[in-house]
Structure 1
Amino acid sequence: MEVGDEAGQHGPTWLVEQRYRAVLEVVDGSPVSEVAIRYGVSRQAVYTWKSKYEAGGLEGLQEKSRRPRTSPTRLPSEVEALVCEMRRTNPRWGARRIAFEIARPPVEAAPSRATVHRVLARNGLIRHQQQKHRRKYKRWQRETPMHLWQMDLVGGIYLADGRECKMLTGIDDHSRFVVVSTVLAVPSGRAVADAFVRAMRTYGVPAEVLTDNGKQFTGRFTKPRPAEVLFERVCRENGITAKLIKPYSPTTTGKIERWHQTLRRELLDVSGPFTDLPAAQAAVDAWVHTYNTARPHQALNMATPASLFRPNPQPEPTVVVAPEVPDKQPEDAAEPQGSVGLLVPTSAQAMEFEAVIAASGQLGVLPRIQRVKLGQDYAGQRARVWADEHTIHVLVDGKLVKSVASRLDAGNLHELSLRGAVPAGPPPAAPAAARQGELQPGAVVEIDRNVDQSGIAQLGGVAVTIGYELANQRVTLRLDGHLLHVVHDGVLARTLPAPIDADQRASLRGARVVTGELPPPAAGAVRVERKVPADGVIMVARQRLRVGRTYAGELVTVHVEDTYFRITLNGADLSLHPRKDQRPVTRFRAKIHAPKL
C-alpha cells in the first residue's frame, strides 16, 4: 500500500496503519472509548491521532524524532575524534588516561572520564571482559617513600644468541618509583646482592625490603638446615628489615608483579630479542626513566612516581687511610678510578668477620676468590673468620676448626672491610704451613681432620687408624719428627708412628706450624657405656662382666682401669671385677637397637 511505503521512510509501517484505522473507525461513528480499548491505548491517544490526521493527513500520523533541535553541551566532533584516535594509537590506555592526556594542554572543555568512556563505548572501542576470579584483596601502602622496597626477579629478556636473561627489579612501595632494574646474565646470589648494593648507593638505604622466598633472597628453606645467604647478610649489615611473603602468595608483592606485566606489554613484547646484554640494559633504563618521570600512575591519582619519591641522604664515604709504606707510593698518588673518597692500601692488615656456613659445608671468604670446605656437619652454624694475606683461620663457637693458606691479597682484604669486616686481633693459631715455603728442620706441624665412623682419618692420602673411641670426632694431628700425636679436646689421646715424611708435610692441606708444648695425656680411667641385656651380663674387651638381671635395660658406665673394671649407674658403684688381660677396648658406646614392631 502507498501509505505504508510513505510511512516507512519515518517509522514502522504497521504503526501508521494502526493509527489510520483507529481514526477511520472514529470518523465512521464508533465511540472513542471503545476504539481506545480495542487498540490498547488511552482515549487521549485516539483524540491526538484524530487531530494530527485532520491537520496533516497521513504525514501527521508518522512517528517524529524527539531529538532536541540544539545540544549546547554536546562534545565537539573534533574532541570525539581525538579520543578515538588516542585509543587506536594506544590500545592500553583507558578512559581515565585518555581524559588525563587531553587535559594536559590548556583546553577550554576537557571531557571527563565518564564522557570519554561513553565515546569509546559508542564507537565500539571497548571490549567488555568477564571477571574470572572475584576475590577481595586487602590493599596496603607505606606512608612515606624509602620505607619499603618490593623486589623480585623476572625473566623473559631474550638476546640474539638465544639466551634468556633475568632482571632484578625493585619498586618503592609508596611512590611506585622503580629503584632497581638490572639485567643479569646469571641470577646468582652474588649478582643480586651487587645490584642491590648499587641501588642503595644511588637512592639510599630503605628501612624494609619485601621479597618472595627465592634462594637468592633467603636461605630459610636451604637443606639440610637453614643458612644465611648474601642478600640477607647485606640487609643485616645495613640495618634493613628483610620481610618474606607467605609461600604461594604472590599478591603480597602485587605492586612489583603488576609492574612486571606493564614491562612485558609495553617493552619486552614489542622489542624482540636484544643484540647483547648492554643493549638490553640500555633499553630497559630508557623505558624505566620514562616510567618514573613522565608516565602518570593511576594509583597515584595520575601523578608520576618521581614526583612522590624522595631518596634518603647519602652518608659520607668511609675513608680508609693506607698505612705508611716507604718508597712504595708517593703522597700525591692518584685515587683509583671508580672508588671516590676511598684510598685502597697497597698492603692491608688482617681482618675478622662473621659468616654463616652454607648448606654445602663451604664458607665463602670471598666466593669468587676463595672458599673453605668445612663439611656439612657445620652447615648453618655461624663462624668467625680471621684472614690475612698468608693464612685463613675459621673458628666455630670459639674453637679453631680449620686453617688454610690464604689466596687473598691486599685489595681483597680491603674489599672485606667494605663488606663489614673489622681489623683483626692476634691470630688464633700459627700461620699455614703452605705459605711458609720449606719447613725448617725439626718444625712441628698440626692438621685438623675428621675421624670417620670406623675410627680412620685421612692424612695426605694415607689412612691413619685413630681408634673407635674417637669415631665421628674432629681431632688435631700433630706431626713431630717420627711421631704422630692425636689431640682431642685439649688432651693427648694417642701417639702413633708418623705416616708422612718431613719433606712432604708442608704441602698437606690445612697444615700449620706450631711452637707450643704438647698437651698432657688424659687423666683417669677410660670410660665406656653398655646397656644391660636381659641376662644381666655385659661384654667389655672380650671379658664377661655380670651386672645382674635387676639392672636389665639400664645404661651403665664401665671404668676400665689397669687391673680391674668398675661398673657404676648414675654415679653409684654397682660392682668391681678384676681384669684378666690387657686387651684394648674397641667399642666405647652402647648398642641401642630400635624396638621391634
Structure 2
Amino acid sequence: MQDDRPVDDRRWMAEHRYRAVLQVLDGVPVAQVARQAGASRQSVYSWIERYHAGGLDALADRSRRPHLSPHQVPPEVESLICELRRSYPRWGARRIVHELGARGAAVVPGSSTVHRILTRHGLIDHQEQIHKRKYRRWQRDAPMQLWQMDLMGGVFLAGGRECKLVTGIDDHSRFIVIARVVATPSGRAVCTAFAEAMTKFGVPSEVLTDNGKQFTGRFTKPAPAEVLFERICRENGITARLTKPRSPTTTGKIERFHKSLRRELLDHVEPFADQAAAQAAIDAWVYAYNHSRPHQALKMACPADVFRPAPGQSPVSEVVLPEEPTARPLLELPPVLPAQLPTALTPVGDHQVPAVEFTALISRIGRLCLPGNQQVKFTAALAGRAVTVWADDRSIHVFLDGELLRTRPSRFSPGDLKALLKQGTRIAGPEPAPSALPTGPLAAGAVVEVERIVARDGYVGLGGKLVLLSPQLVGQAVVLRLVGQMMHVIADGRVHRTLPAPVPPEKWPKLAGARSPGAVTTPPPARPLSAYRRVSSAGTVMVSGQRLRIGASHRGKTVLILIEDTVFRVLDGDTELSTHARTSDKPVTRFKAHARLTD
C-alpha cells in the first residue's frame, strides 16, 4: 500500500522522529521523550534501532503493504473486469460478476471486490445523494398476477413525428408483455395492444396503471364515466388498480424499463423511417431483454426463465374489443310527462330545430357543465342550486326561480339537441329572451361566420358536408368565415389557412350557427419566428408544446429553431441539423434558452 500523504508531511514526520532520537542520545529519559513526541516508549526504541541501521532515511514511513496477498485477484481477471466496464459502461459490479461466471473466469470475485477494482481504475463516477430515498418495495408472488401498464414517448420518425409506445410488464418476472408503437395514444389503441397481449399470454388477475384518460374515466368532466379499458377489465374479470396522482414510483418497474429502453436503444438511433421500422427495432430489443438479458431483481435470471401463465388458466383464443361505450347522461333530468310533448317541433328563428328545456345543478365551484364541452360560470354562492336551461342551436338561457341569470351563445348542433331529447329532456316553447346570436335573416352572399370544433380526424361538418381542415387543429374551436368563393379558417384570432368555399353562397344563411362577422383577425406573420433551445440530456427540445428529437450527440448544445407555418428547422450555427413537421399550433411564448445549471 502506497502512502498517499504529501511529501512535506512525510519529511516532517522523519524530522520529528530524528529529533526524538537525538534527545535520547543526549541522555534524556526515553519515557520523557515519548511523552513529548506523543508516542509510546516502544516506538521510540524502534526509531533508535532504525536510525542506527539506516540513518535519517530509515525514519521515513514504510509501506504497510503485505509481502504476500494470497486472496488478491489475478491480473488477467482484473484486466477482464476493466475491459468489460469499458465495453459496456452501463454494467455495474453485479452484472460484471455474472458475466465473469458465464465466461468461465478462473476466479470470480465478489461484487464489492469488483466495485473496488473499478473505483481504483477510475471507471466509476461517484454521485452525491442529495436526499435519502425511502421506498416501499413490493412484488407479486407469481407471474400473471399483476401487469403494470403505461405510455411513453420518444419514438421519433424521419418526418419529425413522435410516436408513443404502449408498454406492459409482468410484476413478478419483469417479462415485457406489451411494447406496441402507436401513432396516436388513444384509448382504443391502448386497448388493442392490451387485447393482443392477452390473446398471446393470457388474462392477468390485476392491472396497475396511472390515472391517464386512456386507462380510467374517474376524472372525466363533468361526471365520471367508464372508459373502454375499464370495460375490458370488467368483462374479463381483471381488477383494474390505479396509482395515487403524481406517484410514479408505484409503477416503478415499468418506469425503470422505460429508462433502460431510452438509454440502450432510443438515445443511440436515428429517427426511424416509419412506424413499422420502429416496431421492428423495439421488438428485437424487447426479445433480447426478455430472453438473454439477466435481471438483478431476479438474481441474474432472464425474465423468460421466470415468466409462466397462471396455473390452470389457458390463454384466451381471441379478445374482441367492444364498441365504444356511450357516455351516461351528464345531467339529472326530470321525467317528461306526455302532456308536455307538443304535436310538432317548435320553429326557432329561421331553422326547424327543436329547442329543449331541462333542469341541471350548478357544481360546487360555480360551474354549470353542459354537453358539448360547454360551461357557464356563476358565483360560488349559487353552488348546488337547481337551474332551468333553455337551449337551441343559437342561444342558451339559464333561469333560477324564474329569473334570467345568463344568456350565452350555443354550441349545440341539431344532432346534440336530438340526443338530449332521447335522454329525456322536454321540447321547449318559444325563446324566452333575446337570442345570443342574431336571428334575423342574413342576405344571400353576405359575409357569414360559423363556429365549429375540429374533430379528432381534422374534419368539421358544414352544410351536410365534411370539410378537412388540418390535423393541427384537432379539438380546437375554429371560426369559418365565408367570403365570396373562399373560406378562411380562423384559429386563436389569426387566419390559419384559406380554402375554397364548400357551400354555395345561397345556402350560407341556413347554416347552423350562421352569424355576422366578428372581430377582425390578423394575418400570420410574413417572416418565421426563431427561438433558442438547449438540447436536453435525452437529445430533445420542446418548442410550442412539441418535442423535437435532435439527437443525443448534440446534448448540451444551444440550437436555433426556425418556426415556420408547417415545419421546425433546427440550426447549429449555419449548419441545419434536422427538419421536423409541425404538428402543434400553440403560440411560442419563450424565445430564449434556459441558462445552464452550474454546480
Using the size of structure 1 for normalisation, the TM-score is 0.53
Q: Partner letter of residue 96 of structure 1?
A: R
| Equivalent position of 1:456 in the other structure | 346
**Equivalent in the alignment of 1:244:** 242
Q: Give the counterpart of 1:301 among 299, 302, 306.
A: 299
Match of 1:358 among 327, 331, 343: 327
Inter-CA distance 130–65: structure 2 relative to 1 (3 Å threshold): closer
Take 1:215 and 1:266, find their aligned partners in 2: how far apart are those partners? 29
| Number of matched pairs | 357
- State the shift of 1:457 in Å: 7.0
In structure 2, relative to structure 1, the CA distance for the partners of 1:178 and 1:487 (3 Å cut) is: closer
Deviations 1:178-218 (A, max 9, x none): 00000001111111111111111110111111111111111
CA distance in 1, matches of 2:325, 2:316: 29
User: 8 Å contact 2:203–2:315 — kept in the other structure?
Assistant: no
Could you say which residue in structure 1 is the equivalent of 2:283? 285
Query: For 1:41-120, what aligned pairs fall within 5 Å after superposition?
Result: 41-120=39-118
1:218 to 185, 200, 216: 216
**Structure of larger gyration radius:** 1
Please report how far the alpha carbon of residue 11 of structure 1 lies from its aligned counterpart in structure 2 after TM superposition.
Answer: 9.2
| Distance in 2 of aligned mates of 1:11 and 1:316 | 76
Distance 2:357 2:55 in 1: 126
Asked if 2 retains the 8 angstrom alpha-carbon contact of 1:451 and 1:466, the reply is no
Cα offsets for 1:317-356 (capped at 9, x unmatched): 58xxxxxxxxxxxxxxxxxxxx9xx9xxxxxxxxxx9974
- Aligned partners of 1:268, 1:358: CA distance in 2, in Å? 38
Residue pair 1:10, 1:64 contacting (<8 A) in 2 also: no
CA contact under 8 A between 2:205 and 2:238: conserved in structure 1?
A: yes
Using the alignment, how far apart are the partners of 2:33 and 2:423 within structure 1? 121
Counterparts of 2:178 and 2:296, CA distance in 1: 21
Compared CA separation, residues 457 and 224, structure 1 to 2 (3 A): farther
Answer whether contact 2:11 2:60 (CA < 8 A) is retained: no
Write the distance in 1 (CA, Å) between the matches of 2:117 and 2:148. 38
Tell me the C-alpha RMSD between the 2 structures.
4.3
Q: Distance in 2 between matches of 1:273 and 1:227?
A: 38
In structure 2, the CA distance between the partners of 1:82 and 1:467, relative to structure 1 (3 Å rule), is closer
Q: Select the residue among 152, 157, 161 that pairs with 1:154.
A: 152
CA distance in 2, matches of 1:173, 1:129: 29
- Give the CA deviation at 1:465: 9.7
Specify whether residues 40 and 218 from structure 1 end up closer, same or farther in structure 2 by C-alpha distance, changes over 3 A only.
Answer: closer
Contact residue 11 and residue 63 of structure 1 kept, 8 A: no
Question: Contact between 2:144 and 2:203, CA under 8 Å: does it hold in 1?
Answer: yes
Give the residue type in structure 1 aligned to 2:326: I
Aligned to 2:184: 186
Determine if contact 2:199/2:316 at 8 Å carries over to the other structure: no
2:128 to 119, 130, 137: 130
Alignment-derived partner of residue 209 in structure 1 = 207
Structure 2-normalised TM-score? Answer: 0.53
**Is the Cα–Cα contact under 8 Å of residues 227 and 357 in structure 1 kept in the other structure?**
no
Post-superposition shift, 1:24? 3.7
Partner amino acid for 1:158?
Answer: F
CA shift, 1:89, in A, is 2.0
Structure-2 change in CA distance of 1:213 and 1:53 (3 Å): closer
Cα distance per residue 1:510-541 (max 9 Å; x no partner): xxxxxxxxxxxxxxxxxxxxxxxxxxxxxxxx
Contact 1:167 1:183 in 2 (8 A): yes
30 and 286 in structure 1: CA distance in 2 versus 1, 3 angstrom threshold:
same
- Give, in whole Å, the separation in 2 of the partners of 1:487 and 1:87: 69
Describe the SS at the equivalent of 1:72.
Answer: coil
1:264 aligned residue: 262
Higher relative contact order, structure no. (Cα contacts within 8 Å, ≥ 6 residues apart): 2
1:57 to 1:310, Cα distance in 2 relative to 1, 3 A: same
CA distance in 1, matches of 2:200, 2:231: 20
Report 1:506-585 matches (<5 A).
Answer: none
Residues 77 and 462 of structure 1, relative CA distance in 2, 3 Å threshold = same
Pair 1:62–1:254, CA change in 2 (3 A): closer
Indicate conservation of the 8 Å contact 1:216/1:231, yes or no: yes
Change (3 A) 1:133 1:300: same
Assess if the C-alpha contact under 8 Å between 1:32 and 1:46 holds in 2: yes
Structure 1, unmatched stretches of 5+, are 1-7, 319-338, 343-352, 362-375, 380-396, 400-447, 474-485, 490-508, 510-597
Question: Following TM superposition, by how much is the alpha carbon of 1:121 offset from its aligned partner in structure 2, in angstroms?
Answer: 1.6
SS at match of 2:241: strand
Q: CA deviation at 1:166?
A: 0.4
Q: 1:265 to 1:451 in 2, by over 3 A?
A: farther
* Deviation of the 1:377 alpha carbon: 5.3
Displacement of 1:224 in angstroms is: 2.2
Distance 2:315 2:97 in 1: 43
Q: In structure 2, what is the equivalent of residue 229 of structure 1?
A: 227
What amino acid is aligned across from residue 128 of structure 2 in structure 1?
Answer: Q
